Amino acid sequence: MATKAELIAAVADRAEADKKSTEAVLSAFFDYTAEEVKAGNKVAWPGFGAFSMSERAPRKGRNPQTGEPVKIGKSRSLRLQTSAPMKAWLLGRAKKR
């Protein structure tokens, strides 16, 4: 797993930009994406995928230690739906762009 510093350094190197401005751009991207998804909107990047909100209904589970039934409340999470070209590349069916 790449750390924040490693991500910033790699993106800055590929974009031939300085690390400070790269960090600002990445932070702005993640902030914007989080705000839009929280508002119920989808944020898409063609060729990569789309970020959206995934909602899980309340359900029953079991405590693994005791086996007792437990109520699990509804929850939300960030979802990334990868695009077809990205899926093909990840599966080795297409060359990297």
Per-residue pLDDT of the chain (97 residues; tens, 9 = 90+): 899 999 999 999 999 999 999 999 999 999 999 999 999 999 999 999 999 999 999 999 999 999 999 999 999 999 999 999 999 999 998 776 6
Structural domains in the chain, CATH included, are: 4-90 (4.10.520.10)
DSSP one-letter string for 39-95: TT--EEETTTEEEEEEEE--EEEE-TTT--EEEE--EEEEEEEE-HHHHHHHTTSS-
